[in-house]
Chains A and B, each alone.
Chain A
Amino acid sequence: DAGVTQSPTHLIKTRGQQVTLRCSPKSGHDTVSWYQQALGQGPQFIFQYYEEEERQRGNFPDRFSGHQFPNYSSELNVNALLLGDSALYLCASSLDRGRRGGTQYFGPGTRLTVL
């Protein structure tokens, strides 16, 4: 049973560039959430996708966007990168079952460095 996978593992970009991160959920899961974790802090919620639509969004600017595909995999896009976007980006999946509150399982993360 494959867990949550993310790619790439590491990424280096320069300010102003755009980046796309990818996530495949745990087998059988239909909901994907993205989090940003700055060094020394807890993860912060970016947004959640369910049924190919953004269901909830945290306090992040529109430069952060996403997509969920019919196979439940997801992408996180960040435009016009800033130095402050350097962080570990975590993807989590869960099974909605028509209600909230499902157990979330996290992937290994993508470490993004913006120079």
Chain B
Amino acid sequence: GIQVEQSPPDLILQEGANSTLRCNFSDSVNNLQWFHQNPWGQLINLFYIPSGTKQNGRLSATTVATERYSLLYISSSQTTDSGVYFCAVEDNYGQNFVFGPGTRLSVLP
């Protein structure tokens, strides 16, 4: 099945800093989503982005499907950005949604 890797596994930032999170996947994808999991466990949709670039406020994402990676950019980070960021993909065969191991982000005041 499709493999998903995320880097870095952990990231500590000062408030106001920018960061880039990466997601690599091993096969063509039909669906790619970025999620933020808050401390209470809720998975919050950030982007549905199987290809191309999207922006939403301080967050933006780019997926280069031909090279099998996606990037999540967080600018001017805030303490409320802390949590775990997951990339999840569904391959072109419609198989199950596979999550990466996540990047744990801590934003310090």
Are B99 and A103 closer than 8 Å at their CB atoms?
Answer: no
A106 to B86, CA, bound (A): 13
Q: For B99, list chain A residues within 8 Å (CB).
A: 35, 42-44
Are A108 and B48 closer than 8 Å at their CB atoms?
Answer: no
| Chain B contact residue count (CB 8 A cutoff) | 23
Q: Indicate if B30 sits at the interface (CB-CB under 8 A).
A: yes
List CB contacts (< 8 Å) of A5-53 with chain B: 33, 35, 37, 41-45, 48
Taking A42-B100, A45-B96, A48-B96 as contacts, is the C-beta distance between A101 and B31 under 8 angstroms? yes
How big is the A interface, by class?
20 to 34
List CB contacts (< 8 Å) of A60-82 with chain B: none
Partner of B94, one of A35, A57, A100: A100
Q: For A56, list chain B residues within 8 Å (CB).
A: 94-96
Are A104 and B33 closer than 8 Å at their CB atoms?
Answer: yes
CB distance from A43 to the nearest CB of B (A): 5
Q: For A108, list chain B residues within 8 Å (CB).
A: 40-42
Cross-chain pair count, CB within 8 angstroms: 61
CB distance from B85 to the nearest CB of A (A): 11
Q: For B41, list chain A residues within 8 Å (CB).
A: 37, 88, 90, 108-109, 111
CB distance from A38 to the nearest CB of B (A): 12
CB distance from B58 to the nearest CB of A (A): 21
Chain A: residues with CB nearer than 8 A to chain B? 33, 35, 37, 41-45, 48, 56-58, 88, 90, 92, 100-106, 108-109, 111
18 additional A-B pairs beyond A33-B97, A111-B41, beta carbons within 8 Å, are: A33-B96, A41-B101, A42-B88, A42-B100, A43-B99, A48-B96, A56-B95, A88-B41, A92-B43, A100-B31, A100-B90, A100-B94, A101-B30, A103-B31, A103-B33, A103-B45, A105-B45, A106-B35
Q: Lowest 8 A-B CB distances belong to which pairs?
A: A42-B99, A100-B94, A45-B96, A106-B43, A101-B30, A101-B31, A103-B48, A109-B41
